[in-house]
Amino acid sequence: MSELAAESAQRKQAGRRASALLDAEQASRVSVVKAEEDEAKAERVSNQRRASAMMDLEQAARIQKIKLEEEMDSIERKSNQRRASNSMDMEQKRRIAEAAAEEEAEKVERRKSQAAAAAALDAEQSRRVSEASASEVSLSLERTSAGASALKQMDLERDRRASEKQPRSSLVKDAGVLDELQEEVDESESVAVVGDAKGLGAEPAEKVNISVKASANVGDIMGKDAGDESLRKYKENLLGKAAKGDLGDTADPRKVVVTEFRVVFEDKKVPDVVYDLSTDDGVKVMQDKGLKIKEGSGFKFELSFRVNHEILTGLKFVNRTRKGIFGQTESLVIGSFAPASDPYKFVFPRYGYNEAPAGMMYRGTYKATDKFVDSDGNLHLSYDYKVQITK
């Protein structure tokens, strides 16, 4: 019994040692596995960190490369823009120089044309004066009953006037007005014509200077040399209705009343632009609205005006336009006119049309000023407005 108990105790003890060994071995294996898992996990984390760092570096490199490419593109664009701007500046300077040269050439050509026209007008005036003198002598001779009697009367009259130390006729005093009026009627017949009368309906201008040199009283002119029938007819022919007492609107202190400013276009599909300048309100409407003209289009001006009170000589229409470096001033002699209730009309140009400027450099808004001035420098009307040259 004691042996069996001892052997049983030994087996239990051996079993406990084997179980302890197994537990120790299992614990060791678990420890090893856990250590291996921890090591693998640590390696994975390390690999992930290295991969993330490499990706960050690669992304930073790509971003830097993109920034460099964008900077290079920006530098290249700026360089191209500077080159293009320099090229445009050179082209603009070239065009400005060409435009200035063309304008100067046009001015020279206009001066030549004006000189030729003035010479032709002088020659025509001399011819007409000669013809008028011959015609007047012939009419004087025809009115007399006999040539000898007419010569005798002329000699007596000349002696009488010489003894009294007076001028040959009071027509000498009025020659500066009547002769200039006759020349303007002859030379501008198709330009200044009497049209339909329009009601004034306007408030008088604030202040208008009265010119002694550029006007003459119709009553004084008609009252002088009343006994000379041929001279009376000559005056009536020049003065028209004014010789019969039509002195325009004598209640209006203004001597020149511009009733209408009209722009007529060569393209009949484009309606006329019309402004009434007989009142301050009408002038303000034109100043506010101005004119719009298509580039390259043909146009002309039609001005209607009335003359009141007295004869007006040497009326001029001065038109000045300017935009930047481009500018032009035209001074057009309208003529000399007797007072009348019916309006006169002035067309410019008389034949054909003006051509509006064309091109990028000429499009835009121009500042314009119109003035009506007589031969004595008195300003009868002045107004500013804008002209838009459109595409």
Residue where the block lists tokens 């971003």: 63
Cβ atoms < 10 Å from Cβ of 197: 14
pTM above 0.95, yes or no: no
Least confident of 236-245, 271-280, 345-354, 371-380: 236-245
Angstrom CA distances, 265 to 56, 82, 294, 320, 362, stand at 73, 43, 10, 20, 19
Name residue 125's amino acid: Q
First to last CA, the chain: 134
**Closest-CA residue to 341 (of 379, 302, 303, 309):** 309
The pLDDT mean for the chain works out to 75
293 touches 385 (CB < 8 A): no
pLDDT of residue 238: 66
Return the pLDDT at 371.
93
Q: Which residues pair with 326 in a beta bridge?
A: 323
Query: Rounded to an integer, what distance in angstroms lies between the CA atom of residue 389 and that of residue 231?
Result: 52
143's tokens:
């009115």
Q: What is the pLDDT of residue 139?
A: 46
What's the pLDDT band for 189 if we cut at 50, 70, 90? Answer: very low
Indicate if the pLDDT at residue 41 is higher than 60: yes
- Residue 253's nearest CA partner among 211, 220, 207, 213 is 207
**pLDDT tens-digit readout, 335-363:** 888 888 888 998 988 888 989 888 888 88
pLDDT at 256 (0 to 100) = 92
- Nearest residue to 362 (alpha-carbon basis) of 390, 338, 382, 340: 390
Which distant-in-sequence residues (6+ apart) come within 8 Å of 381 by Cβ?
A: 205, 256, 258, 277, 370, 371, 372
What is the crossing angle of helices 229-239 and 2-143, to 10°? 170
pLDDT band at residue 302 under the 50/70/90 scheme: very high
- Give the model's confidence band at 248: pLDDT under 50 very low, under 70 low, under 90 confident, else very high: confident
Task: Give the pLDDT confidence score for residue 311 in this predicted structure.
Answer: 81
pLDDT in tens, 84-114: 888 888 888 888 888 888 888 888 888 887 7
* Residue-by-residue DSSP string for 14-34: HHHHHHHHHHHHHHHHHHHHH
CA–CA distances in Å: residue 355 to residues 274, 294, 390: 19, 10, 13
CATH code for 167-391? 2.70.50.30
Summarize the confidence of residues 308-337 as an average pLDDT.
86
- How would DSSP label each residue in 142-185? HHSSSHHHHHHHHHHHHHHHHHTT--S-THHHHHHHHHHHHHHH
Nearest CA-CA partner of 316 in 211, 240, 386: 211
Reported as a single tens digit per residue, the pLDDT across 21-40 is: 888 888 888 888 888 888 88
pLDDT in tens, 267-300: 999 999 999 998 999 999 999 999 999 999 999 9
**Helix or strand (DSSP H, E) at 306:** strand 298-307
Each domain of the chain, given as residue ranges in start order, spans 167-391
195 SS3 class: coil
Residues 6+ apart with CB under 8 A from 193: 344, 345
Q: Residue 153: what pLDDT?
A: 52
Residue 53 has pLDDT above 80, yes or no: yes
Pull the structure tokens for residue 47: 């690999």
- Is beta strand 379-390 parallel, antiparallel or unpaired with respect to 291-294? parallel
pLDDT at 304: 93
Residue type for position 279: T
Nearest to 346 by CA among 319, 375, 378: 319
